[in-house]
Structure 1
Amino acid sequence: MAIDPCTEYGLALAAEDFVPVLLAGAGTVVLALAAGRSVPQVRVPALLAGGLVTLGGLAKAVWKLLVAAEPCRNIEVLEQLLFPCLAFGFAGIVWALVGVRRGRPAPWPPYLVLPVLGAVAALAVGDTWPLLIAAAIGAVTVGVLGILLARRRRDAFGVVLFGVYIVGTLVLPPLAGRPDQSEALQWIEQLTNSVVQLCFLLGAIGLLRAAAPSTSVPDHTSAGVPR
C-alpha cells in the first residue's frame, strides 16, 4: 500500500528536518574551506559541490514541511531533487579531498562516473534509488577521506567524529526507508541524524583548524611579471 505523504509527517517533525540539513551544509562549507587552505584550486569547486548537497537537503526539508502543513501541498520535484544533488555534490567533495591528499587537484572526469551512471540507471528504472546508492557511496567516501586526513594531522577526535558520520550514513537511510514508522521512531531517527551531521561539522572544523596553507609549486604563468 502506498503511503500518503500528507499523513506521514507532523509539522514539528518536518521542521526539525532542517537541523541536520543546516549542520551538513555548514560541514560541507567548512570542509571546502579546509581543502582550499591546503590546495587553493579546489576551494571554489568544493564550495559549489557543498552548495549542491545543501540544496538537495533543503529541497527535501521544504517538501516535508509543505506536506505536513495545512493544506498539504505535495510538490514531488522538491523531494526528487535530494538524491541527484547529493550524488553529484558528494562526488565533487570527494574530488576536492583527494586533491588535498595528493597536494594538487586530481583529474575530475573519473569522479563523475558514479553519479552519471546513477542518473542513467535512475532514468532507466524510473526511480531515484540508483542515485541514492551513488550518494551513499560518495558520502561514505567523504567520511573515509576525512578519517585519513584527520589521522595525517594526528587528530584522534576527528577520526572518531568521521567514524560516527560513516556509521550514521550507512545505518540511518535503511531505517528511515522502512514503511509504517511511528512518529516516535521518526523522531529518534531525525535526532540521531542531527547528531551524526553535528559530528560531520565538528570533524570538518578540526580539519580546517589543522589545515596548513598550500606550499605547492608556484604558478609559472605569472613568472617575470612585476609585483
Structure 2
Amino acid sequence: MSAPLNYPVPLAVEDFVPVLLTTCGVLLLHRRGPGYRIVVAAALIGAGGFAKATAKLIAAAGGPDLPWLRGMLFPLLTCGFALLYLTLTRDSARIAHRVAAAAVIAASALVAILARSPLPMLVSATVFATLTGFRLIGLARRAGDTTTAVLFGIQLVSFFVLGPLGSRPDQTVALQWTEQLCNTAAQAAFLVAARRSAQPARRYSGSSSTALQ
C-alpha cells in the first residue's frame, strides 16, 4: 500500500525510530548465540524496516511510489527473524529447525511469486517473529526475570494489534500517529528487555535441551 497523499513528512521520519530501536535491540542479544548470526539477523530486520520507511518518506515528500522498495519489508523480516530464532534455539533439534525454517521460507516465497501477493511473506514473517518472541519470553522466565519477560511480551502483542490496525483503509493522520507512537513504545520496550537480558546477571543459557516455551 502506498503512502497516503496526506501522509506528512514528520510522520514518515518518525517511522525510522522503531526500526532503529528494534535493530539495536536485536544487536544486544549477541550473547544469546554466535555474534555474527545476531549481527546478520539485525541487519536483515533493520534493512526491511528501513526500506519501507524510506519508501514512505519518498512518497510523503512528493516523490514516486516505489513498490519494489516497500516490498522488501516482509522477505527481509522473514529471513531476519528466522535466523534470530534459529540462533536463540540451540538444542538437539536445531537441524530439524533449520530444515523446517528453510522450507517455510522457500514455500512462502514461491507462493508469493505465483500469487503476486506479499501476504505469504507477511504470514511467514509473523510466524518467525512470534516464535522468536515466545523464545525470548521463555528464556526470561527461565532466568526468573519477570520484568524482561513482560517487556518482550509487550513487543510481541503489539505485533498482532498494530498489524490489523495499519491495514485499515480509513487511515487518518491522527490514527497513523497513534499507531506509530505505540509501535515506537513497543520497540522501546523490546530494546530495554534486550539490554536487561544482555547484562551479566541475567545471561540466559540457550544451550542443552531447552525447549520453546
- Normalised by the length of structure 2, the TM-score is 0.89
* Structure 2 residue aligned with 1:60: 52
Percentage identity across paired residues of the two chains: 36
* Structure 2 residue aligned with 1:85: 76
* Structure 2 residue aligned with 1:74: 65
Give, in angstroms, the shift of residue 202 of structure 1: 1.2
Cα deviation 1:33-85 (Å, max 9, x = unaligned): 1213xxxxx32122212210100000001100000003x22222110000000
Q: State how far apart, in whole Å, the 2-side matches of 1:138 and 1:212 are.
A: 20
Of 177, 188, 208, the residue aligned with 1:198 is 188
Paired residue total: 204
> For residue 141 of structure 1, what is the amino acid of its counterpart?
L
Question: Which ranges in structure 2 are unaligned for 5 or more consecutive residues?
Answer: 209-213
Instruction: Pick closer, same or farther for the CA change 1:185–1:149 going to 2, 3 Å.
Output: same
Matches within 5 A, 1:8-157: 8-31=6-29, 33-36=30-33, 42-70=34-62, 72-99=63-90, 102=91, 106-107=94-95, 108-157=98-147
SS where residue 142 of structure 1 aligns? helix
Q: State how far apart, in whole Å, the 2-side matches of 1:68 and 1:43 are.
A: 37
Larger of the two Rg values belongs to structure:
1
> For residue 78 of structure 2, what is the amino acid of its counterpart?
A
* Structure 1 residue aligned with 2:173: 183
Q: State how far apart, in whole Å, the 2-side matches of 1:118 and 1:7 are.
A: 31
Give, in angstroms, the shift of residue 4 of structure 1: 5.8
RMSD: 2.0
Instruction: Pick closer, same or farther for the CA change 1:85–1:25 going to 2, 3 Å.
Output: same
Give, in angstroms, the shift of residue 109 of structure 1: 2.7
Q: State how far apart, in whole Å, the 2-side matches of 1:144 and 1:193 are.
A: 19
Question: Which ranges in structure 1 are unaligned for 5 or more consecutive residues?
Answer: 37-41, 217-227
